[in-house]
Amino acid sequence: MKQSTYPLELLLGMKYYASDADGIGGTLRGEPEDFIVEELPLEKKGGDSGPYLICRLTKTNWELQHAIKEIAKRLGISHRRIGWAGTKDRNAVTRQLISLYHVTPDQISGIRLKDITLEPVGQSNEALSLGDLLGNRFDILIRDCDPAELETRVREISATVSQAVPNYFGLQRFGATRPVTHLVGECILRGDFEKAVITYIGLAFPGEPEYVRSVRTAFSASRDIQAALSGLPPQMSYERSMLHYLYTHPDDYSGALQELPPKLLSMFVSAFQSYIFNSALSRRLDDGHTLTEPVVGDRLIFANGRTDTVTGTNRGAVSLHIGRGRCSIALFMPGKEPVEPRGEGEQATLSLLAEYGITGKDFERASAFVRTKFDGAWRPLALRTAVDSSVTEKNVRLKFSLPPGHYATTVCREFMKGDPVHMV
């Protein structure tokens, strides 16, 4: 097991790689077509009829929230009438299903958006919601890899990925260019809406254009709304929406946050949960534990969502089940529901929450503000998948599938072991 040396990964709790093999380096997403994602939908959710039109959305180099807003604008409806099962990558070619309330196929046929196609595929009596999918299938090309013994390293890392790698939440969960979502989520959990708004609008990061960084920094220092509106480009619609609201409603930071789409608001709090998970997983590895050897008190999660606890009596049988892929050791994603700390995993999570001063009541308050349940959930601490790989000169193609909520960039990270800026 290797440790990461990249400050950004360490900042987000991503400290370890599972494979001891040297990384292949390279660059991810040289072109959107290098990263193809196809959603694996549930069968016939909500029946064959109903008020929801189900469409297959194919997009290239579009962030999902922006694509949904543009589709809604063309249809003349609220974006809240559009649902989806999973949030896909921006710099990629993605195919997924979306549901549209009281929209007809004829209306869809009139939409013209560059690099977006919509294909009606059926009707349903239920909207699509996050998690309503079997998983995702990926076809990824990593370009310009280190050619030295490339095939050998790819083979070795593929073997490791088929067994277990740390199931970290990837960089895109926190913001590829500006990893601020978990910081905004922490502010919302504390009820500090002013700091949440100032962080989202005003915290600058090196990957942004210089003029954007200067506008953000100036706003953070001066709170000059007019200057920020004049300086930020039109495509930064979320920041501008909050600024416009603050201009007409001075100091109403809670209202400014509510200008954002509900799903984006919920993602802030989810990102903080993800940060705590990443950090707790790394602490487990700090303590010398592995991803697959159970420790008494560990929680287990099975494919059907059932959980169990490792005891001195069942530990040997559990090891066999984990090896055969029937279950995984799990860590708790914190929420408003209390958790009894039976093992080291829960203790690490609760210790981290105590360091941040975040309690279940904070999640309960955030749930009311965001209008999303944050009950908490169990998540496997290891990711495993069979990888079909091929090497052509200095390029490596990877094909694999993952369950919902697992990140393809976590698999790519294990292969590349490179600077995370090359993965976005």
pLDDT tens-place string over residues 10-34: 999 999 999 999 999 999 988 999 9
Share of the chain above pLDDT 70, in %: 100
What is the rounded average pLDDT of the residues 173-201? Answer: 92
CA nearest 32: which of 116, 112, 97? 116
- 89 in catalytic set: yes
Rg (CA), the chain: 22
pLDDT tens per residue across span 153-167: 999 999 999 999 999
Q: Which of 89, 132, 298, 362 is catalytic?
A: 89
Distance of CA 371 to the CA centre of its chain: 19
User: How far is the CA of 382 from the CAs of 57, 413, 419, in angstroms?
Assistant: 30, 14, 22
pLDDT class for 341, splitting at 50, 70, 90? confident
Distance of CA 153 to the CA centre of its chain: 27
Bridge partners of residue 36, in order along the sequence: 93, 139
Task: Assess whether pLDDT exceeds 70 at residue 46.
Answer: no
Task: Assess whether pLDDT exceeds 90 at residue 422.
Answer: no
Q: Mean pLDDT for the chain?
A: 91
Phi, psi values for residue 78, rounded to 5°: -70, 140
Q: Please check whether residue 330 is in contact with residue 378, taking contact to mean a CB–CB distance below 8 angstroms.
A: yes
What is the rounded average pLDDT of the residues 227-256? Answer: 93
Predicted structure pTM score: 0.87
